């Protein structure tokens, strides 16, 4: 059996030079995993000069050892989060995951990244032998719907026949192919990426980061190396912060299997099993993960693989294991990640608790806003120095509302252009980008941006009224994009013809 991550073996990662000499940038990012590369990309887009350093290279750390479930369904059950944090923080936490998924989808479309991004259903199912979980699943499904998420309670899931919740429109991809494509966008216009470059001493007075062969002068430092570097906080401050984190090892096995619809599964055990089903050029496969334990507190790690393979065989008797690998996740005290400023102009993101792909991406968005001085409604919730949350804590959104619909619509599958009939409209993909396309009675197309100019929601086609309607705040537009009614103050923007 191979002992290497599937992603590390099958991705073509960029060769990066080490840092040599002295450079000056607006922001230095330490860590070239999904959080670091996404942060650098978003900051560069906003006009910053960015330098990324990593002791390995792009995706050489935990991003290359994930099983790459892109989901807002958190490790801690929604009912547990609600009981411990309160309804609004629990809802906000899931919304953050959804926002991360939206950003990944947007990056793939904007840059045309070839990373196998797929929209799939996810199933939270009662672990074998735990029929009593049915009532807790009912509560989780009800809470998810109350918070604005699609959640279907099933008497039996489609594969294992267990009570389950179906969450449509989750995502999966090849994490390193995605990261390699994103990393190619960083160099240029004063931005660079360096591999084989380990962070050394940080001079807080001069805002300089020293490496073995170079120095980076910076305006802001972003530490996203899974467990953040000390930086300018001092030894005591860094050590105190790290006591709020706990490292867990997790294990994965890939196996060939009978073809099963592409999907994600998680059971209700603690630690839980998680499965990902893929269709590949040479057949179908499953990746199963689990058997988590505190890092360094179990010497019988081989037994973890054996138990994981036994679980795989009990669920899928025809599975034929071919490779295995392990990874690591960091858990926090309250289950929420730490994202934000820990010293003046020094930012961290860690403690993703098994949701590193989505929360790492979301962290990049939040850090971009903090560095740019923009308000972000999640700042206090994920602050590294946050106080204990309670049921009375209120999650305050910017402006009047920030509906889940704003985020979920960006993951809605687009229609095929050829399926569009006359006198109708639809959201379709044109050259990898979502467009609002109307076909008139003569077969002439009007191609528009689907983004409502009010607050950025995605419009929907109203077949009965033959209008483009915004589901968030009710703005309405003619098939041609002209404004009918606000709160938007302008029409939909014209886009390239399909």
pLDDT digits (tens, 9 = 90+) for 12-21: 999 899 999 9
CA distance 222 to 202: 12
**What CA–CA distances, in Å, run from 249 to 228, 255, 268, 417?**
18, 20, 19, 46
Same domain, 280 and 261: yes
Same domain, 151 and 297: yes
DSSP secondary-structure letter at 77? -
Range of weakest confidence among 229-238, 247-256, 313-322, 339-348: 229-238
pLDDT digits (tens, 9 = 90+) for 49-90: 999 999 888 998 889 999 999 999 999 999 999 999 999 999
Bridge partners of 226?
A: none
Residue of 295, 264, 280 lying closest to 358 (CA atoms): 264
Distance of CA 32 to the CA centre of its chain: 15
Report the first-to-last Cα separation within the chain, whole angstroms.
48
Q: Which residue, 413, 429, 459, sits at the end of a domain?
A: 413
- Evaluate whether 209 touches 215 at the Cβ level (below 8 Å): yes
The Cβ-side half-sphere exposure at 179, using a 13 Å CA radius, reads: 32
Same domain, 214 and 336: yes
DSSP secondary-structure letter at 373? T
Domain membership flag for residue 65: yes
CA distance 152 to 169: 12
- Three-state secondary-structure class, residue 450: coil
Domain membership flag for residue 405: yes
Predicted local confidence at residue 231, as pLDDT: 56
- Evaluate whether 237 touches 243 at the Cβ level (below 8 Å): no
Same domain, 85 and 101: yes
Buried b (16+ CB within 10 A) or exposed e, 179-208: bbbbbbbbbeeebbbbbbbebeebeeeebb
Predicted local confidence at residue 393, as pLDDT: 38
Same domain, 346 and 379: yes
Same domain, 75 and 179: yes
Domain membership flag for residue 377: yes
Which of the two residues, 120 and 353, has the higher pLDDT score?
120
Predicted local confidence at residue 232, as pLDDT: 52
Predicted local confidence at residue 403, as pLDDT: 44
CA distance 67 to 286: 10
- Evaluate whether 85 touches 227 at the Cβ level (below 8 Å): no
In this structure, what token pair is assigned to residue 2? 């191979």
Give the chain's domain count. Answer: 2
Same domain, 359 and 382: yes
Instruction: Tell me which residue has tokens 């609002």.
Output: 436
pLDDT at 105 over 70: yes
CATH number for the domain that contains residue 285: 3.50.50.60
pLDDT digits (tens, 9 = 90+) for 132-156: 889 999 999 999 999 999 999 999 9
pLDDT at 405 over 60: no
Bridge partners of 479?
A: none
Which of the two residues, 39 and 229, has the higher pLDDT score?
39
pLDDT-based confidence at residue 485 (cuts at 50, 70, 90)? low
Same domain, 478 and 390: no
- Three-state secondary-structure class, residue 180: helix
Q: Is 87 exposed, middle or buried (0-12, 13-18, 19+ CB in 10 A)?
A: middle
Helix and strand counts by DSSP (H, E) for the chain: 10, 26
Q: Is 285 exposed, middle or buried (0-12, 13-18, 19+ CB in 10 A)?
A: buried
Same domain, 380 and 419: no
Domain membership flag for residue 497: no
Bridge partners of 434?
A: 429
- Evaluate whether 67 touches 289 at the Cβ level (below 8 Å): yes
Same domain, 353 and 436: no
**What is the chain's alpha carbon radius of gyration, rounded to the nearest angstrom?**
23
Same domain, 432 and 382: no
Q: Which residue, 359, 386, 413, sits at the end of a domain?
A: 413
Predicted local confidence at residue 409, as pLDDT: 55
Domain membership flag for residue 14: yes
Residues 6+ apart with CB under 8 A from 488: 452, 453, 454, 470, 475, 477
Same domain, 264 and 351: yes
CATH number for the domain that contains residue 480: 2.102.10.10
Domain membership flag for residue 250: yes
pLDDT at 442 over 50: yes
Q: What are phi and psi of 447, to 5 degrees?
A: -110, 125
- Put simply, whether the predicted model's pTM sits higher than 0.85 gets the answer no
Predicted local confidence at residue 474, as pLDDT: 62
| Residue 200 lies in domain | 1-413
pLDDT at 181 over 80: yes
Domain membership flag for residue 322: yes
Domain membership flag for residue 108: yes
Q: Mean pLDDT across the stretch 314-329?
A: 93
Q: Mean pLDDT across the stretch 2-11?
A: 92
Q: Is 274 exposed, middle or buried (0-12, 13-18, 19+ CB in 10 A)?
A: buried
Q: Mean pLDDT across the stretch 427-431?
A: 81
Three-state secondary structure string covering 222-271:
EECCCCCCCCCCHHHHHHHHHCCEEEEEEEEEEEEECCCCCEEEEECCCC
Largest Cα span, the chain: 72
Q: Which residue, 396, 413, 430, sits at the end of a domain?
A: 413
Which of the two residues, 394 and 50, has the higher pLDDT score?
50
Planar angle of CA 111, 71, 284, nearest 5 degrees: 80
């Amino acid at each position: 059996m191979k002992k290497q991550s599937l992603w590390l073996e099958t991705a073509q990662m960029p060769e990066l030079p080490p840092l040599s000499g002295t450079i000056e940038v607006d922001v230095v990012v330490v860590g070239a995993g999904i959080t670091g590369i996404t942060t650098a990309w978003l900051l560069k887009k906003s006009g910053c000069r960015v330098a990324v350093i990593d002791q390995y290279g792009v995706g050489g750390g935990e991003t290359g050892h994930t099983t790459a479930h892109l989901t807002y369904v958190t490790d801690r059950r929604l009912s547990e989060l609600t009981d411990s944090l309160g309804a609004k923080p629990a809802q906000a936490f899931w919304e953050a995951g959804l926002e991360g998924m939206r950003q990944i989808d947007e990056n793939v479309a904007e840059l045309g990244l070839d990373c196998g991004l797929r929209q799939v259903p996810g199933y939270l199912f009662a672990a074998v032998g735990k029929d009593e979980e049915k009532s807790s699943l009912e509560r989780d499904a009800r809470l998810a719907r109350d918070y604005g998420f699609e959640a279907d309670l099933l008497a039996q899931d489609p594969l294992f026949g267990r009570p389950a919740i179906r969450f449509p429109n989750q995502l999966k991809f090849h994490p390193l192919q995605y990261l390699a494509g994103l990393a190619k966008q960083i160099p240029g216009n004063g931005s660079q990426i360096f591999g084989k470059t380990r962070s050394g001493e940080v001079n807080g007075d001069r805002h300089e980061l020293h490496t073995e062969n170079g120095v980076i002068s910076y305006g802001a430092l972003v530490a996203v190396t899974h467990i953040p570097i000390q930086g300018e906080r001092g030894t005591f401050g860094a050590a105190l912060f790290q006591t709020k984190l706990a490292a867990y090892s997790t294990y994965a096995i890939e196996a060939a299997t009978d073809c099963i619809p592409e999907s994600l599964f998680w059971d209700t055990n603690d630690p839980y099993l998680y499965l990902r089903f893929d269709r590949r050029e040479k057949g179908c496969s499953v990746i199963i993960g689990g058997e988590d334990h505190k890092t360094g507190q179990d010497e019988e790690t081989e037994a973890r693989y054996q138990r994981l393979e036994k679980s795989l065989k009990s669920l899928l008797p025809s599975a034929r294991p071919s490779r295995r690998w392990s990874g690591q996740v960091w858990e926090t005290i309250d289950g929420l990640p730490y994202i934000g400023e820990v010293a003046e102009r020094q930012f961290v993101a860690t403690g993703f608790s098994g949701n590193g792909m989505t929360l790492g991406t979301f962290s990049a968005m939040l850090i971009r806003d903090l560095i740019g001085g923009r308000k972000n409604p999640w700042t206090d919730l994920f602050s590294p120095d946050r106080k204990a949350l309670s049921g009375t804590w209120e999650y305050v959104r910017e402006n009047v509302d920030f509906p889940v619909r704003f985020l979920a619509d960006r993951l809605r599958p687009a229609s095929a252009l050829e399926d569009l009939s006359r006198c109708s409209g639809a959201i379709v993909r044109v050259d990898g980008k979502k467009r609002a396309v109307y076909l008139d009675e003569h077969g002439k197309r009007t191609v528009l941006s689907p983004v409502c100019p009010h607050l950025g929601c995605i419009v929907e086609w109203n077949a009965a009224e033959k209008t483009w309607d915004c589901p968030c705040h009710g703005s309405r537009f003619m098939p041609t994009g002209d404004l009918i009614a606000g709160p938007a103050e302008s029409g939909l923007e014209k886009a390239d013809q399909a």
